[in-house]
């Protein structure tokens, strides 16, 4: 048995399963271990956004999970006296990344599909019922001691170790990495109910934040008959007692009776805002809940973990294959820690708004929100809350587009001789891309640099004539809805350099600027070669 792996992933929850699937997709030899043998059969995460659906698309699992995903309806916030004070919804069509920007999902079957997909790769070994005893890094190798639930032990080595092993992470604990506390700590009860048809008729059709000082509460519409309540616990209430069936039904009495559905899960939590002070020690990394915890008020917990591993795995792949210097891995913490802190701070602010317990202060909050809205509640786009990347592997030439997600429009292509349409990534592929619009010149230097980067050059045809789109595998596309054309116009550029994780590295207004941007990127990825040259 070959006990050396390029990467060992600890934890096979959503983040670990996506990490293992991405490693398999790259053909990297990997081992993924988890102490549990089966997917937890109750939902924990409930929301997923269009960025993560794009990741699932890249893995090839979107169709398999579609029946377990539904549109996240608008979220309405109601104040002290039951008045509407805030409303959050999605952006209108055409959707910028090709999917409804925010969705709800049922975790157990989605997680099972992610696990099955990861296990389908020949280069990926899965060891369930297995935990990490300890690990040590020396001489450029990480040695990991494992033990399974029969008591059998095994020692493996790897080039890199990733801890995706949850909030009580063995990997983070052994490294002695502390959390930075962003100062949010509130006791809540999370209740999931499978509601029957008569129950569904009684319930709101939109998500609601009850910003009521007497008992702040969140109501979420999940797929099918799945409904969730997140209910703040009051001082003196015993969290364990409050999660018992009788107590739960008493809390739900405002909406339902036991005849309207069955309890699926009731669990008490302390909602925290914590971010690891370090995300990497040498060849060992942490990701997902091992690296951060945030309140659930806009449903970004699982999304954050998936962003972590997507960011890390493409960089590991580049380093392992010699396509980038190992210094690229330093940008993992720079990018993800900053992003998580920014988003967690915004989520925390929403939580503080919801959790106001003083009636006078809550009334002032309601009045302030209505004043700020000009007396009429305006709908805020939920995805505007999620920040772009700030720092890391981005162009030194500052521009608002740098660090933003590049759009994924519907584009025309030829299929069996007929015009058809599909999403951008499906047609042009993954990896580095240099996307140009109209008649933007692709000079020999641009072509040479793109080749050195391993990037595909994609040209967006300018006139909307579908018959200018060529066959699959070529670099010319025509979009259907004007999403990309509008993006280039707003950003006053003719070219964008797009990273493998779909974030924009930099933009260019002409061919000369594009040549400089590509040269700078290559120098950053290969600093030693640049110095030698």
Per-residue pLDDT reduced to its tens digit, 152-203: 999 999 999 999 999 999 999 999 999 998 877 788 899 999 999 999 999 9
Q: Is 205 strand, coil or helix? A: coil
Judge whether residue 319 has pLDDT over 60.
yes
H helix count then E strand count, the chain: 16, 27
Judge whether residue 471 has pLDDT over 80.
no
pLDDT digits (tens, 9 = 90+) for 215-256: 999 999 999 999 999 999 999 999 999 999 999 999 999 999
Q: pLDDT band at 135, cuts 50/70/90?
A: very high
pLDDT digits (tens, 9 = 90+) for 3-14: 999 999 999 999
pLDDT at position 272 is: 79
Peptide bond preceding 336 in cis form (omega within 30 of 0): no
Q: How far apart are CA 57 and CA 66, in angstroms?
A: 11
For residues 296 and 478, the model is more confident at 478
pLDDT digits (tens, 9 = 90+) for 382-396: 778 899 999 999 999
Q: 11 in the Ramachandran plot: left (φ > 0), alpha (ψ -120 to 50) or beta? A: left
The average confidence (pLDDT) of the chain is: 92
Q: pLDDT band at 469, cuts 50/70/90?
A: very low
Say what the pTM is: 0.94
pLDDT at position 295 is: 82
pLDDT digits (tens, 9 = 90+) for 378-434: 888 877 889 999 999 999 999 999 999 999 999 986 554 556 789 999 999 999 999
For residues 532 and 53, the model is more confident at 53
Q: How far apart are CA 447 and CA 438, in angstroms?
A: 17
**Within a 13 Å sphere around the CA of 266, how many CA atoms are in the beta-carbon half?**
20
Name, in order, each residue with C-beta under 8 angstroms of 253's C-beta and a sequence gap of 6 or more.
Answer: none
pLDDT digits (tens, 9 = 90+) for 274-302: 899 999 999 999 999 999 998 877 788 89
Helices (DSSP H) in 142-229: which residue ranges? 170-175, 197-202
Judge whether residue 467 has pLDDT over 70.
no
Question: Do β-strands 4-10 and 30-34 pair in parallel, antiparallel, or remain unpaired?
Answer: parallel
Judge whether residue 531 has pLDDT over 50.
no
pLDDT at position 402 is: 98
Q: How far apart are CA 111 and CA 118, in angstroms?
A: 11
Judge whether residue 470 has pLDDT over 70.
no
Judge whether residue 464 has pLDDT over 60.
no
User: Phi and psi for 306 in degrees, rounded to 5?
Assistant: -65, -40
Domains of the chain: 4-69+104-179+275-353 (3.50.50.60), 410-532 (3.40.30)
Tokens of 529: 């070669």
Name, in order, each residue with C-beta under 8 angstroms of 204's C-beta and a sequence gap of 6 or more.
Answer: 219, 221
Q: Is 330 strand, coil or helix? A: helix
pLDDT digits (tens, 9 = 90+) for 12-63: 999 999 999 999 999 999 999 999 999 999 999 999 999 999 999 999 999 9
- Taking residues 497-519, report their average pLDDT: 97
pLDDT at position 462 is: 60
Q: What percent of the chain has pLDDT over 70?
A: 95
For residues 157 and 470, the model is more confident at 157
User: Phi and psi for 287 in degrees, rounded to 5?
Assistant: -155, 165
């Amino acid at each position: 048995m070959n006990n050396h792996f390029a990467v060992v992933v600890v934890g096979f929850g959503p983040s670990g399963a996506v990490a293992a699937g991405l490693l398999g997709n790259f053909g990297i030899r990997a081992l993924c271990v988890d102490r549990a043998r089966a997917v937890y059969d109750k939902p924990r995460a409930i929301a997923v956004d269009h960025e993560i659906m794009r990741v699932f698309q890249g893995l090839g699992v979107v169709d398999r999970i579609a029946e377990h995903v539904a549109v996240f309806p608008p979220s309405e916030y109601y104040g002290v006296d039951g008045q509407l004070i805030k409303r959050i919804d999605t952006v209108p069509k055409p959707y910028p990344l090709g999917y409804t920007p925010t969705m709800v999902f049922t975790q157990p079957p989605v997680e099972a599909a992610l696990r099955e997909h990861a296990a389908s790769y020949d280069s990926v070994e899965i060891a369930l019922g297995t935990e990490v005893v300890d690990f040590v890094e020396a001489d450029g190798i990480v040695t990991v001691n494992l033990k399974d639930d029969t008591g059998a032990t095994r020692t493996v080595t790897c080039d890199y170790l990733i801890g995706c092993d949850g909030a009580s992470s063995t990997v983070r604990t052994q490294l002695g990495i502390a959390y930075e506390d962003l100062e949010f700590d509130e006791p809540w009860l999370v209740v999931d109910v499978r509601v029957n048809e008569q129950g569904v008729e009684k319930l709101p059709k939109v998500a609601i934040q009850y910003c009521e000082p007497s008992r702040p509460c969140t109501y979420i519409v999940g797929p099918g008959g799945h409904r969730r309540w997140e209910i703040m616990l009051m001082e003196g209430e015993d969290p364990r007692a409050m999660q018992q069936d009788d107590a739960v039904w008493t809390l739900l009495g405002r909406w339902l009776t036991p005849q309207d559905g069955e309890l699926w899960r009731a669990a008490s939590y302390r909602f925290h805002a914590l971010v690891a002070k370090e995300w990497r020690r040498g060849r060992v990394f942490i990701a997902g809940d091992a690296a951060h915890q945030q309140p659930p008020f806009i449903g970004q917990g699982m999304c954050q973990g998936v962003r972590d591993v997507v960011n890390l795995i493409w960089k590991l792949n580049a380093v392992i294959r010699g396509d980038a210097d190992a210094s690229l891995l330093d940008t993992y913490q720079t990018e993800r820690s900053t992003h998580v802190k920014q988003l967690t701070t915004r989520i925390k602010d929403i939580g503080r708004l919801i959790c106001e317990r003083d009636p006078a202060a809550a009334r002032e909050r309601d009045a302030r929100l209505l004043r700020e809205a000009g007396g009429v509640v305006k709908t805020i786009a939920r995805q505007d809350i999620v920040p772009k990347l700030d720092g890391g592997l981005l162009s030194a030439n500052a521009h608002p587009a740098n660090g933003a997600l590049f759009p994924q429009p519907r584009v025309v292509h030829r299929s069996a001789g007929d015009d058809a349409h599909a999403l951008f990534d499906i047609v042009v592929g993954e990896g580095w891309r240099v996307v140009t619009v109209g008649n933007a010149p692709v000079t020999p230097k641009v072509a040479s640099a793109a080749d050195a980067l391993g990037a595909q050059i994609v040209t967006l045809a300018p006139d909307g004539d579908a018959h200018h789109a060529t066959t699959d595998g070529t670099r010319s596309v025509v979009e259907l809805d004007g999403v990309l054309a509008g993006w280039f116009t707003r950003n006053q550029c003719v070219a964008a350099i797009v990273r493998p994780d779909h974030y924009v590295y930099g933009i260019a207004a002409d061919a000369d600027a594009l040549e400089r941007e590509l040269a700078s990127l290559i120098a950053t990825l290969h600093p030693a070669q640049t110095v030698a040259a």
